[in-house]
Amino acid sequence: MFYILDAEDHVRVEPRHFGLPTHEAVEKQLNEDFADSISREFGYVISILSVGKIDDGIIISGDGAAYYNSQFRLLVWKPELHELTYGTISEITNFGAFIQIGPERGMIHISQTMEDYVSLNKTGTLSGKSSKRSLGKKDDCIARIVAISYKAGTPKIGLTMRQPGLGKLQWLEEDKNKKEEDIKKAAKRAGKGTKGKKGGKK
C-alpha cells in the first residue's frame, strides 16, 4: 500500500553540498539517503515529496558535515499482510509466477495461481488442467499478500490467487458474466413456472 509519511530527522548534509542554499542541500541529501531505500519500518521510500521547516545547522567536532533538524514528507510503499493488491505478471517459471506490485515483485507458487491442477506448458504459460485457463507474462491480476519476510533485507512477498474475487482480470470478468447469465436463466425458469400454475376457486 502507498502512504504519504510526515517525518522529522537530523539530516547529515555532507560537505559537497555546502555551496547550495540550505533547503536545496537538505533536499539533495534526503534524496541520496532515503530515495529507493528499504526498511521494515517504512517499507520502500519512493521519493521525497517536499521539505518543510529546517532548523539552524549544527557542526559536530571531528565531523566535516552539518546537521539540520528537518521536517519532510515521503512517498512510501509498504506491503501489508492480507492486503489485496493489483499487479502484472512479469515472469513465469516452472514453480509459479512473479508479479510486479508497486516497486517490488511478489511470488505466486504454482499451487496458488488458480483452483485447479496447474502445469507449465510449452508456450511458457501456466495452464489449468480442468478449467483450461492460462496465466502468462503481462497478464493483469488481483492477488492477496499471504507472506512477507525481511530476512534477506529486501522483503520476499508471497501471494495467492486461490480465493474468491482473485485471479487474472479476464477470469474475474468471465466469472461475473457467467454469474449474471445464471441469474437470468434462473429468473426465466422461475417465471415460466409461475405462468404454468392455475389459480383455484375459493
Which of 57, 77, 97 is the last residue in one of the domains?
Answer: 77
- The pLDDT of residue 160: 97
Predicted confidence at residue 41, as pLDDT, reads: 82
Provide the CA 156 distance to its chain's centre, in angstroms: 12
Predicted confidence at residue 136, as pLDDT, reads 96
Does residue 200 sit within a domain? no
Residue 115 lies in a domain: yes
Q: Could you tell me if residue 131 is inside a domain?
A: yes
Instruction: Tell me whether residue 164 is in a domain.
Output: yes
User: Could you give the CA distance from residue 147 to residue 79 in angstroms, rounded to a whole number?
Assistant: 10
Q: How many domains does the chain have?
A: 2
DSSP letters for 12-51: EE-GGGTTS-HHHHHHHHHHHHHTT-EETTTEEEEEEEEE
Domain that holds residue 126: 84-178
Residues of the chain short of pLDDT 70, as ranges, are 193-202
pLDDT tens-digit readout, 59-83: 888 888 999 999 999 999 999 999 9
172 located within any domain: yes
What is the CATH classification number for the domain harbouring 132? 2.40.50.140
Residues 153 and 89 grouped into a single domain: yes
Tell me the CA end-to-end span of the chain in Å, nearest whole number: 65
pLDDT value of position 197: 57
pLDDT at 3: 92
What grid cell was written down for 66? Answer: 552539518
Residue 195 lies in a domain: no
Nearest to 115 by CA among 162, 167, 160: 162
Statement to judge: residues 33 and 101 lie in one domain: no
Are 98 and 172 within one domain?
yes
- pLDDT at residue number 200: 52
**Pseudo-torsion of CA 75, 79, 83, 85, nearest 10°?**
70
**Do the domain assignments include residue 28?**
yes
Looking at the domain assignment, is residue 97 inside a domain? yes
Q: pLDDT value at position 138?
A: 97
* pTM, two decimal places: 0.77
Residue 26's CATH number: 3.30.1490.120
What pLDDT is attached to residue 37?
Answer: 87
